[in-house]
């Protein structure tokens, strides 16, 4: 069997949070194209259902949509149970849901801080633990968390201390769980994208001035594309990455190299 065949995900089951659009939609698409059955998990259930229908028709895989608030433990536990029930198991997940609030630290409200930390870090913890418990009891699996290059650098010119702190926390959570579960068959890794040009990002009037600055600073002179994260996530979800755990893979066009 060649390497391309080895990297396929035929027969595997998984879910992606924040998958109705953007990066999550791209990785869910890649998982389905590689042969996996996938749950599209998002708060926006209408958009999630559209994405699920689109991917099912495109790939021929079983793709379902589940509305979930990833900061609510009961909803997260119920989501994992539904994935297992409807797809027939859980072999991998990509915990990708997140938000960013740009506000100077001295002006940021405590509620804004808590919202970012709750979604970006606590939400990852809840989905990691819910998925991890199932995987520990059923022979193992792979967990992928979305961190950010913002865990490694302080972004400029926008002020985003809560986002940066939350993403640094995701990496340390990833490494901590990887150590705890290394001998028990569950691998935990993170990806740290740089600036990624999703449809929403590229069409945001408030971000256009920032995008121009980011591109000026970027060694490659551009933002990344969501699809440039797909192959890494397929690799991490599959059986060719069985010795990869506790890793944070930076995909940023060398932005953090200076």
Which one of the listed residues 134, 163, 195, 235 is annotated catalytic?
Answer: 163
Residue 2 lies in a domain: no
Closest CA to 94 of 140, 147, 51, 52: 147
Number of domains forming the structure of the chain:
1
Contact 70, 129 (CB under 8 A): no
Which one of the listed residues 25, 134, 142, 148 is annotated catalytic?
Answer: 148
Residue 257 lies in a domain: no
Q: What length does the chain have?
A: 258
Q: Report the CATH number at residue 189.
A: 3.40.50.720
Q: Is 148 among the catalytic positions?
A: yes
What is the extent of the structural domain holding 16? 8-251
Closest CA to 31 of 3, 52, 2, 1: 52
pLDDT tens sequence across 131-184:
999 999 999 999 999 999 999 999 999 999 999 999 999 999 999 999 999 999
Residue 247 lies in a domain: yes
- pTM here? 0.97
Residue 243 lies in a domain: yes
pLDDT tens sequence across 197-234:
987 778 777 788 899 999 999 999 999 999 999 999 99
Q: Is 50 among the catalytic positions?
A: no
Residue 258 lies in a domain: no
Q: Is 204 among the catalytic positions?
A: no
* pLDDT on residue 249: 98
Which one of the listed residues 12, 13, 25, 167 is annotated catalytic?
Answer: 167
């Amino acid at each position: 069997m060649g390497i391309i065949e080895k990297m396929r995900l035929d027969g595997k089951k998984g879910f992606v949070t924040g998958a109705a659009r953007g990066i999550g939609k791209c990785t869910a698409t890649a998982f389905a194209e590689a042969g996996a059955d996938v749950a599209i998990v998002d708060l926006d259930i209408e958009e999630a259902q559209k994405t699920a229908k689109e991917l099912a028709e495109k790939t021929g895989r079983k793709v379902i949509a589940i509305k979930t608030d990833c900061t609510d433990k009961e909803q997260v536990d119920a989501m994992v149970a539904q994935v297992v029930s409807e797809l027939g198991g859980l072999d991998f997940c990509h915990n990708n849901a997140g938000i960013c609030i740009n506000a100077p630290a001295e002006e940021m409200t405590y509620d804004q801080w808590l919202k970012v930390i709750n979604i970006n870090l606590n939400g990852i913890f809840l989905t990691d633990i819910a998925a991890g418990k199932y995987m520990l009891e059923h022979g193992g699996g792979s967990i992928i968390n979305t961190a950010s290059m913002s865990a490694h650098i302080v972004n400029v010119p926008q002020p985003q201390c809560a986002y940066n702190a939350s993403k640094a926390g995701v990496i340390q959570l990833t490494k901590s769980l990887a150590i705890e579960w290394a001998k028990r068959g569950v691998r935990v890794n993170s990806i740290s994208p740089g600036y990624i040009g999703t449809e929403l990002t590229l069409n945001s009037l408030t971000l256009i001035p920032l995008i121009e600055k980011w591109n000026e600073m970027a060694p490659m002179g551009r933002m990344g594309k969501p699809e440039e994260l797909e192959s890494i996530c397929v690799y991490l979800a599959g059986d060719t990455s069985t010795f990869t755990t506790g890793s944070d893979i930076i995909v940023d066009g060398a932005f953090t190299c200076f």
